[in-house]
């Protein structure tokens, strides 16, 4: 059964938006009314939110519903707020999410950076995920170092009381294979007890 999910990453630039867009396309190809939601984006061109919007525009959503909080500085949201002034409004974010959830079959929510990135003073991505309350999918760049980063993220999600549905190992095109890709999936299975998928298995994640 299709369900709404919170997409997080082991780090920034691991392909969260790429994976979310693939999942959106898979849902919508199946006739499921799925939309994306990026509560906060940092970056002058609003690139991630625009990519999500282009896929689900036909669902009648606006880019400001997809991305209610936008900082132009490409830094952590809490740092951007210090530079640009406070723009984070949790109530607005949650009201927008509930509206999307009430009007569409599935909402895929993308966090900012990794699980413990600060969004505001004493408020992390993990806190936002807890407020939203969806099962979590972790995206990890399939390269050297992902075993530790992924295991720590999955364990922290469990510690925070949320269900981790799966880990998606993403072969980033800009990364040369350092020799670890072939063995990472099997190695992770010995460290964590959630499904470990590759991007080709994306339909299994939805």
Classify strands 136-141 and 196-198 as parallel, antiparallel or unpaired.
Answer: unpaired
Report how far residue 140's alpha carbon sits from residue 8's, in angstroms, rounded to the nearest whole number.
9
Report how far residue 129's alpha carbon sits from residue 135's, in angstroms, rounded to the nearest whole number.
9
38, 73, 99, 189: which is the annotated catalytic residue?
38
User: Bridge-partner residues for 164, per DSSP?
Assistant: 136
Q: What is the CA 116 to chain-centroid distance, rounded?
A: 13
Q: Could you confirm whether 38 is annotated as catalytic?
A: yes
Catalytic residues: 38
């Amino acid at each position: 059964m299709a369900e709404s999910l919170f997409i997080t990453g082991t780090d920034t630039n691991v392909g969260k938006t790429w994976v979310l867009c693939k999942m959106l396309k898979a849902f919508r190809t199946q006739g499921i009314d799925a939309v994306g939601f990026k509560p906060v984006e940092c970056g002058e061109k609003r690139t991630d939110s625009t990519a999500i919007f282009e896929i689900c525009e036909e669902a009648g959503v606006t880019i400001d519903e997809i991305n209610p909080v936008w900082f132009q500085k490409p830094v952590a949201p809490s740092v951007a707020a210090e530079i640009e002034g406070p723009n984070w409004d949790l109530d607005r974010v949650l009201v927008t999410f509930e509206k999307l959830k009430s009007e569409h079959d599935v909402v895929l929510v993308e966090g900012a950076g990794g699980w413990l990135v600060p969004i505001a003073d004493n408020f992390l991505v993990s806190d936002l995920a807890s407020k939203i309350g969806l099962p979590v999918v972790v995206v990890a760049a399939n390269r050297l170092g992902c075993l530790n980063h992924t295991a720590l993220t999955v364990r922290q999600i469990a510690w925070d009381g949320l269900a981790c549905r799966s880990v998606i190992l993403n072969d980033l095109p800009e990364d040369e294979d350092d020799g670890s890709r072939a063995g990472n999936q099997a190695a992770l299975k010995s460290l964590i007890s959630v499904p470990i998928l590759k991007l080709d298995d994306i339909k299994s994640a939805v």
